[in-house]
Chain A
Amino acid sequence: MLIVKSPVEKTIKLENNIILLKVYAPEISSTIKPGQFLNILVSDSYSPLLRRPFSVCDIEGDFIFLMFNILGEGTKILAQKLKGETINILGPLGHGFNIEGDYNTAVIVAGGLGAAPFPYFVRALPKNKKNISFVGGKNSNDVITYGLNNISVSTDDGTMGYKGTVIGLLNENLELLKKDKIKIFACGPNPMLKALKEFTIINKFECEISIESAMACGFGICQGCPVESTNTKDKYSLVCKDGPVFNVKDIVL
């Protein structure tokens, strides 16, 4: 865990108001694993006061990329950063995806901005693993495919790709998925993850998910990010320390 002040290299506006922030952070880029996250202080002012958690979207040498859309005060400030201005990064934090293991194809399932951690994930996959992506959104504006390969798309309103949920799309492709030795890696809104959990249990697919939570510190002291564990009723797991990536079987969604 490090605290570094990292200069912004550039701000890239993607389609659909999605922003990519390129930041010089060699200490982070050289150590972070896919699915780990950073807790970022966007300014020294008291408003906003706390850090904000972000997954690392991609890495290019000494640079890291963050992907976000402007939701509140923090992301607004971040989006307006000019080249050379700094952001204060705490990280790498938490446990990332287990990309090694006994499978042939990584099946990425992403809903909306849940696609953020996967460009780096794809880059970091061992050479002997293939990858395919199922990307869902409410409508075509919500579909983010940046940095992904072999993509199938679903939208709730049918404005792009398969009409229905991304789980519906997975079910459409069930035969194909069952022919291969796959492991599912997912990130997205809670209802999607809930449906995905059921889907993976029914079909006996290995699955890891990255989940979001409100949090203050990001490293286990504030206890602000509990998630119910299926392994013990006596205590919660913490998203920041025990996650944000969990085996889908280990948590109650």
Chain B
Amino acid sequence: MNKVDLSVNVGSLKLRNPILLASGTVGYGNEMSEFIDLNKIGGIVTKSLSLKPRKGNPPQRVVETSAGMLNSIGLANVGVEVFLKEKIPFLKNYDVPLICNIAASSIEEYVECTKILTGEETIKAFEINVSCPNVKEGGLQFGNDLNAVGEITEKVKACTNKPVIIKLSPNVSYISEFAKVVKQEGGDAVSAINTLVGTSFNIFSKRPKLFNVTGGLSGPAIKPVALAKVLEIKRSVEIPIIGIGGIMNWKDVIEFMIVGSSAIQIGTANFINPKIADEIIKDLENYCSTNGIERISELTGSYII
């Protein structure tokens, strides 16, 4: 078996392989470390962090749907201060690129969080969750507003020299317009896609199953949508893409890379099999080796249409 090069670059961010663990499905690393060797993973993306700790939504927060699940966790997290004090020391034990996901309810809060975190050397990049309500604008999501996404990218970039990845919402007409704005304002990469808005009702009580009424749909049910969004971005903007959406196995990873992803994130699958990242990395090595692919990065955007 020939040695295969699984390493990839997402802009200036170098990863030993294209497998990242998605925000909200890996906590702050410690639970997952019981199942997999974090040193073998391409990188981990933290649970969304906000300036202050957030309690999150009351139950019910998750509901299973056909080949997927809805969640409305409500950005429950420890906040940046506790993260630096209590979570970073554990992560320092590992040689795994750490990407901090940031959530906020104002542009100032995004900036403030980035400023506080950027000095921490363990953090290699930021992923900005723009699928959060903008409190000043009456709760409209930043992610649905081109100007807001542009302004967040510009202002976050201005306060860090680490790569800034904007995690795009699929709940828009043209996701590529948002990717263009990110590029214009100096963003280093986009991750696509965040969850799709969905809901589920109890047919007997006629009440929503989630306390928050709607939630974010994830899992294999959304994979075709995610692939189409990644392809749309790839065909209209030159910016590195991290593909996300229902990846369950190595074949899904290859498919996401073919349509344009430089790296990918595993999300919901971690809940079902916390060892999945490890298994997929081995399978990818095997696939490349048997198919004469020397560098997996060759696959990115290799589609033939």
Residues of A within 8 A of B (CB): 1, 3, 41, 46-51, 90, 213-217, 219-228, 234-236
Report B1-40 CB contacts with A as 1/0, cut-off 8 Å.
Answer: 0000000000000000000000011110001101100000
Q: What are 29 sample pairs from A and B whose C-beta atoms fall under 8 A apart?
A: A1-B34, A1-B35, A3-B273, A3-B275, A46-B248, A49-B69, A49-B219, A49-B220, A49-B272, A50-B272, A214-B63, A215-B62, A216-B64, A216-B69, A216-B71, A216-B268, A217-B270, A217-B271, A221-B25, A221-B26, A221-B27, A221-B31, A221-B271, A222-B25, A222-B271, A226-B57, A226-B76, A227-B59, A236-B76
Question: How far, in whole Å, are A236 and B268 apart by their CA atoms in the complex?
Answer: 22
Of chain A, the residue at the smallest CB distance from B71 is A224
Indicate if the CB atoms of A223 and B69 lie closer than 8 Å. Answer: no
Question: How far, in whole Å, are A226 and B270 apart by their CA atoms in the complex?
Answer: 19
Task: Given A3-B275, A215-B62, answer yes or no on A220-B31 (Cβ-Cβ < 8 Å).
Answer: yes
Q: Which B114-168 residues sit within 8 Å CB-CB of chain A? A: none
Asked if B68 is at the interface of the complex by the 8 Å CB criterion, the answer is yes
Nearest chain B CB to A183 CB, angstrom units: 28
Indicate if the CB atoms of A213 and B27 lie closer than 8 Å. Answer: no
Indicate if the CB atoms of B270 and A221 lie closer than 8 Å. Answer: yes
Question: How far, in whole Å, are A47 and B32 apart by their CA atoms in the complex?
Answer: 24
* In-complex Cβ contact of B73 among A41, A219, A223 (8 A): A223
Indicate if the CB atoms of B27 and A220 lie closer than 8 Å. Answer: yes
Indicate if the CB atoms of B56 and A236 lie closer than 8 Å. Answer: yes
Indicate if the CB atoms of B53 and A217 lie closer than 8 Å. Answer: no
* In-complex Cβ contact of A226 among B26, B59, B69, B271 (8 A): B59
Report B43-55 CB contacts with A as 1/0, cut-off 8 Å.
Answer: 0000100000101
**B67 / chain A contacts, CB cutoff of 8 Å:** 46-47, 49
Nearest chain A CB to B34 CB, angstrom units: 5
Question: Which 9 pairs across A and B sit closest by C-beta, in order of nearness?
Answer: A224-B62, A217-B271, A46-B67, A216-B271, A221-B27, A224-B61, A223-B73, A220-B31, A46-B220
Question: How far, in whole Å, are A1 and B31 apart by their CA atoms in the complex?
Answer: 10
Asked if B202 is at the interface of the complex by the 8 Å CB criterion, the answer is no
Question: How far, in whole Å, are A220 and B30 apart by their CA atoms in the complex?
Answer: 10
Excluding A46-B248, A235-B53, 15 further A-B contacts by CB distance (< 8 Å) are A3-B274, A48-B64, A49-B67, A49-B219, A49-B220, A49-B268, A219-B31, A219-B34, A221-B25, A222-B73, A223-B47, A226-B59, A227-B59, A234-B55, A236-B55
Indicate if the CB atoms of A213 and B31 lie closer than 8 Å. Answer: no
Of chain A, the residue at the smallest CB distance from B67 is A46
Asked if B58 is at the interface of the complex by the 8 Å CB criterion, the answer is yes
Nearest chain A CB to B249 CB, angstrom units: 11
Please classify the interface of chain A as helix (H, G, I), strand (E, B), loop, or mixed, using the class held by over half of its residues.
Answer: loop
Indicate if the CB atoms of A235 and B25 lie closer than 8 Å. Answer: no
**A219 / chain B contacts, CB cutoff of 8 Å:** 31, 34, 274
Question: How far, in whole Å, are A215 and B219 apart by their CA atoms in the complex?
Answer: 15
Indicate if the CB atoms of A213 and B25 lie closer than 8 Å. Answer: no
Indicate if the CB atoms of A226 and B272 lie closer than 8 Å. Answer: no
Question: How far, in whole Å, are A105 and B72 apart by their CA atoms in the complex?
Answer: 42
Of chain B, the residue at the smallest CB distance from A88 is B273
Interface-central residue, A1, A214, A225, by most chain B CB under 10 Å: A214
Indicate if the CB atoms of A49 and B64 lie closer than 8 Å. Answer: yes
**B59 / chain A contacts, CB cutoff of 8 Å:** 213-214, 225-227
Indicate if the CB atoms of A235 and B55 lie closer than 8 Å. Answer: yes
**A90 / chain B contacts, CB cutoff of 8 Å:** 274
**B71 / chain A contacts, CB cutoff of 8 Å:** 216, 222, 224
**A220 / chain B contacts, CB cutoff of 8 Å:** 27, 31
Q: Which B209-240 residues sit within 8 Å CB-CB of chain A? A: 219-221
**B271 / chain A contacts, CB cutoff of 8 Å:** 50-51, 216-217, 221-222
Of chain A, the residue at the smallest CB distance from B27 is A221
**A224 / chain B contacts, CB cutoff of 8 Å:** 61-62, 71, 73
Indicate if the CB atoms of A3 and B26 lie closer than 8 Å. Answer: no
Nearest chain B CB to A243 CB, angstrom units: 13
Of chain B, the residue at the smallest CB distance from A52 is B64
**B61 / chain A contacts, CB cutoff of 8 Å:** 214, 223-226
Nearest chain B CB to A11 CB, angstrom units: 24
* In-complex Cβ contact of B62 among A1, A47, A216, A234 (8 A): A216
Indicate if the CB atoms of A235 and B76 lie closer than 8 Å. Answer: yes
Nearest chain B CB to A197 CB, angstrom units: 17
Indicate if the CB atoms of A214 and B76 lie closer than 8 Å. Answer: no
Report B88-102 CB contacts with A as 1/0, cut-off 8 Å.
Answer: 000000000000000
Interface-central residue, B34, B61, B275, by most chain A CB under 10 Å: B61
Asked if B173 is at the interface of the complex by the 8 Å CB criterion, the answer is no
Nearest chain B CB to A36 CB, angstrom units: 15
Asked if B302 is at the interface of the complex by the 8 Å CB criterion, the answer is no
Question: How far, in whole Å, are A239 and B60 apart by their CA atoms in the complex?
Answer: 12
Interface-central residue, B47, B57, B248, B271, by most chain A CB under 10 Å: B271
Asked if B66 is at the interface of the complex by the 8 Å CB criterion, the answer is yes
**B220 / chain A contacts, CB cutoff of 8 Å:** 46, 49
